[in-house]
């Protein structure tokens, strides 16, 4: 279901890991030789400026993410809620590749040049972020049959910003 204020953003990344970030607040650099454990810890420390999710290894090189103001009852394969704080009036959709480059090199910034236009305007404040994965990432027939341009994820924002359990959604601990 499409709403008048929906913003569809196409992002290119084959890892299946995405983030919605307040890049004005998010501290990017971790270490030139960061480990996954360090990166995950960093994401959690930056949780008020970042919501990260893993959508599975679908093999898709481009993914459509629909961003919407307001929480709906639209369902998909799975959903989770986290929170984010907006300080600059803009949230950026960023890829895992961009996050890791910025984590490794202190002169790399977000958004990456190729992702500079992947934004949504949001008034400053605290928000609940509901992320809905629209398909089962382990069922290739499920996402192979999605019509071109159909969102793989729905990201809904609503003022409030309750504390979330984790800034990282659907990333297994192992």
Instruction: Look at residue 1 and tell me if it is in a domain.
Output: no
How many whole angstroms separate alpha carbon 20 and alpha carbon 111?
A: 11
Instruction: Look at residue 59 and tell me if it is in a domain.
Output: yes
> What is the per-residue burial (b if ≥16 Cβ within 10 Å, else e) of 148-168?
eeebbbbbbbbeebeebeebb
**Which three-class secondary structure state does DSSP give residue 76?**
coil
Instruction: Look at residue 14 and tell me if it is in a domain.
Output: yes
Instruction: Look at residue 2 and tell me if it is in a domain.
Output: no
pLDDT tens profile 19-64? 999 999 999 999 999 999 999 999 989 988 999 998 887 666 788 9
More confident: 35 or 174: 35
More confident: 173 or 19: 19
Task: Please state the domain count of the chain.
Answer: 1
Token pair 């924002």 is found at: 157
Instruction: Look at residue 50 and tell me if it is in a domain.
Output: yes
How many whole angstroms separate alpha carbon 144 and alpha carbon 105?
A: 36
* Residue 18 banded pLDDT, cuts 50, 70, 90: very high
Q: Determine the average pLDDT of the residues in 73-98.
A: 93
pLDDT tens profile 123-164? 999 999 999 999 888 876 666 666 777 899 999 999 986 766
Instruction: Look at residue 148 and tell me if it is in a domain.
Output: yes
How many whole angstroms separate alpha carbon 19 and alpha carbon 40?
A: 13
Note down the domain range covering 156.
7-169
pLDDT at 56: 80
* Residue 103 banded pLDDT, cuts 50, 70, 90: very high
pTM exceeds 0.75, yes or no:
yes
Instruction: Look at residue 122 and tell me if it is in a domain.
Output: yes
**CATH assignment at residue 63:** 2.60.34.30
């Amino acid at each position: 279901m499409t709403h008048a204020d929906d913003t569809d953003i196409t992002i290119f990344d084959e890892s299946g890991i995405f983030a919605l970030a307040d890049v004005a607040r998010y501290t990017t650099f971790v270490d030139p030789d960061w480990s996954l454990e360090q990166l995950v810890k960093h994401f959690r420390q930056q949780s008020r400026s970042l919501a990260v999710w893993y959508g599975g290894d679908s093999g898709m090189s481009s993914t459509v993410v629909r961003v919407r103001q307001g929480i709906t009852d639209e369902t998909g394969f799975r959903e989770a809620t986290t929170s984010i704080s907006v300080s600059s009036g803009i949230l950026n959709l960023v890829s895992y590749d961009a996050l890791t480059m910025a984590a490794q090199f202190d002169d790399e910034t977000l958004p990456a040049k190729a992702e500079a236009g992947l934004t949504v305007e949001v008034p400053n404040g605290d928000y609940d972020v509901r992320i809905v994965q629209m398909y089962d990432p382990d069922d290739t027939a499920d996402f192979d049959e999605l019509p071109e341009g159909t969102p793989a994820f729905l990201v809904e924002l609503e003022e409030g910003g309750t504390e979330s359990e984790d800034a990282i959604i659907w990333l297994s601990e192992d």
